[in-house]
A and B are shown apart, each in its own frame.
Chain A
């Protein structure tokens, strides 16, 4: 009986040379490639370098993290460690996702900043990272850093960041705020 092969033929049908069909040499080549990679990476590990492309994420950050990424809000601090924010609610008003909640406190003794936020919370489960709050702020009190919030969490309630996290940013030298740091910044009441 004559067997008719009715398979459809494709223009890019793979073809094997006789050398490849012999199987064993190509197997040897493949094993050579994998063992070469293995030895190279092992040599890197043993000489104290890193033999993998992996980044240990929470402990390590990739070097090519986007330099323009602005993913984490911070509240700027005054020299004595209290927030620069005057709780004017402009950021909460402009926020398209309505994620900012501010509770105002009044301090009549402080002439320069009679109002301050008692509670300043951002719901990161809804934040769209548009940066409009930073644009709206008349006091340069809220900024966004090239960082990520500690977001992963088992429920949405834990994705709220409050004053203690937002006030965690405390550089000793800030180009936009050239006033002297009187040492109070590190002993502020809102340090986490």
Chain B
């Protein structure tokens, strides 16, 4: 019991630390990647001076995140004269908390055997093993969608309680847009669920550890390339980033549903958005990119199709799996940033038309084709 609790605590601390770090570092990655993409250098003036020396640490502008945080905290906390102070106050948290909770069901590593990792604790753990995942729920994907849906409420609360027309319009837009794309997201994932036969994210990742056709990694993107594309598009739209950032389109709505938010409350919205980039990356990695799996790798090391076997110690395997997951998530985040700095914003009617008239039919067609293929294979077998 105590063992389980301590392991869970370690997992929670790791996952929280990872998400918060991603949220902070992604602000820097976004700035720098945008700068490099457009022949610029990017933010590089914030520095930390080592006390009593003239040594200034710039570190490629990494400290701009700290400067931003300080600015957010020190700014005036403006309160609009709203009739619904409670909703106004809790809206940022309603957006922020579910974003963190989604990660509870995402597996970020393979099976951990603490007894083998720390031989001194082997007796205490007594050979128990733990999949690296905070909550091992059978209904993993349902949890993801349930909590993902909660953020809609947060943005609508913010828009409604701000007593501002721009906020209200932004909240309305956020509501209709996110509900539309939530639907598309669910439909695209349905094809994947049919393929892997489970909605437990741990099981889905384990199903992706093998190879198909002898050499291709059995990742979701191989089975469902169209589903992967649609899922990523819908996820970006769900996250309200350019080209789908209509709820907060500055040229039309100032800042949309968080127009009336200042200081750290506004910072919380931004932070939630950046963490959600990481969450989308983690989900996409888990569902379509094989999670923590490398091709030809299993819990004992590598075994290549030509027969070569490369054995690895348990510690090395665990660290490799954690790193592989992080690198994949970072790659997907980087792709999202690439999209955000490449594409122009849609018009609002185009956003909804795109969801209902283009993505929904394609997702349905994808689902039907998947079902027919699976059925025919099942009939043949």
Q: Do the two chains belong together in a single complex?
A: yes
Interface assignment of A41: CB less than 8 Å from any CB of chain B: yes
Q: In whole angstroms, how far apart are the Cα atoms of A53 and B33 in the complex? A: 15
Shortest Cβ distance from B243 into A: residue: A27
Contacts of B35 in A (CB 8 A): 52
Which chain B residues (333-351) contact chain A, with CB distance < 8 Å?
338-339, 341-343
Cβ of A34 to closest chain B Cβ, rounded Å: 4
Q: In whole angstroms, how far apart are the Cα atoms of A35 and B342 in the complex? A: 9
Interface assignment of B37: CB less than 8 Å from any CB of chain A: yes
Q: Residue-by-residue, is A106-119 near B (CB-CB < 8 Å gives 1, otherwise 0)?
A: 00000000000000
Contacts of B33 in A (CB 8 A): 38
> Judging by beta carbons under 8 Å apart, are A30 and B41 in contact?
no
Q: In whole angstroms, how far apart are the Cα atoms of A102 and B41 in the complex? A: 45
Which residue of A35, A41, A52, A56 is within 8 Å of B338 (Cβ)?
A: A35
Which chain A residues (1-42) contact chain B, with CB distance < 8 Å?
27, 30-31, 33-35, 37-38, 41-42
Cβ of B292 to closest chain A Cβ, rounded Å: 25
Interface assignment of B40: CB less than 8 Å from any CB of chain A: yes
Report which residue of A37, A38, A52 has the largest number of chain B beta carbons within 10 angstroms of its beta carbon: A38
Interface assignment of A71: CB less than 8 Å from any CB of chain B: no
Q: In whole angstroms, how far apart are the Cα atoms of A1 and B39 in the complex? A: 53
Interface assignment of B36: CB less than 8 Å from any CB of chain A: yes
The verdict on A38 contacting B41 (CB below 8 Å), with A31-B339, A31-B342 known, is no
Contacts of B339 in A (CB 8 A): 31
Which residue of B38, B40, B343 is within 8 Å of A30 (Cβ)?
A: B343
Shortest Cβ distance from A33 into B: residue: B342
Contacts of B39 in A (CB 8 A): 37, 41, 51-54
Which chain B residues (307-327) contact chain A, with CB distance < 8 Å?
none
Contacts of A38 in B (CB 8 A): 33, 36-37, 338
The verdict on A41 contacting B342 (CB below 8 Å), with A52-B41, A54-B41 known, is no
> Judging by beta carbons under 8 Å apart, are A42 and B40 in contact?
no
Q: In whole angstroms, how far apart are the Cα atoms of A34 and B336 in the complex? A: 13
Number of residue pairs A-B, CB distance < 8 angstroms: 40
Cβ of B232 to closest chain A Cβ, rounded Å: 12
Q: In whole angstroms, how far apart are the Cα atoms of A53 and B342 in the complex? A: 19
Interface assignment of A169: CB less than 8 Å from any CB of chain B: no
How many residues of chain B get a CB closer than 8 Å to chain A's CBs? 13
> Judging by beta carbons under 8 Å apart, are A31 and B338 in contact?
yes
Cβ of B244 to closest chain A Cβ, rounded Å: 13
> Judging by beta carbons under 8 Å apart, are A52 and B40 in contact?
yes
Cβ of B350 to closest chain A Cβ, rounded Å: 10
Q: In whole angstroms, how far apart are the Cα atoms of A31 and B229 in the complex? A: 14
Which chain B residues (16-63) contact chain A, with CB distance < 8 Å?
33, 35-41
Shortest Cβ distance from B33 into A: residue: A38
Contacts of A34 in B (CB 8 A): 37, 338, 341-342
Contacts of A30 in B (CB 8 A): 342-343
Which chain A residues (51-89) contact chain B, with CB distance < 8 Å?
51-54, 56
Shortest Cβ distance from B39 into A: residue: A53
The verdict on A41 contacting B36 (CB below 8 Å), with A31-B338, A54-B41 known, is yes
Contacts of B341 in A (CB 8 A): 34
Q: In whole angstroms, how far apart are the Cα atoms of A45 and B44 in the complex? A: 15
Contacts of B338 in A (CB 8 A): 31, 34-35, 38
Contacts of B342 in A (CB 8 A): 30-31, 33-34
Cβ of B65 to closest chain A Cβ, rounded Å: 20
Cβ of A60 to closest chain B Cβ, rounded Å: 11
Cβ of A135 to closest chain B Cβ, rounded Å: 41
Contacts of B41 in A (CB 8 A): 52, 54, 56
Shortest Cβ distance from A53 into B: residue: B39
Q: In whole angstroms, how far apart are the Cα atoms of A189 and B40 in the complex? A: 44
The verdict on A37 contacting B40 (CB below 8 Å), with A30-B343, A31-B339 known, is no
- Residues on A close to B: CB < 8 A? 27, 30-31, 33-35, 37-38, 41-42, 45, 51-54, 56
In the A-B complex, the 8 residue pairs with the smallest Cβ-Cβ separation, listed nearest first, are: A34-B342, A38-B37, A52-B41, A41-B36, A54-B41, A53-B39, A34-B37, A30-B342
Interface CB pairs A-B, < 8 A, 9? A31-B338, A34-B341, A35-B37, A37-B36, A37-B37, A37-B39, A38-B338, A42-B36, A52-B35
Given contacts A35-B37, A52-B40, A54-B41, 8 further A-B contacts (CB under 8 A): A37-B36, A37-B37, A41-B36, A42-B36, A51-B36, A51-B39, A52-B36, A54-B40
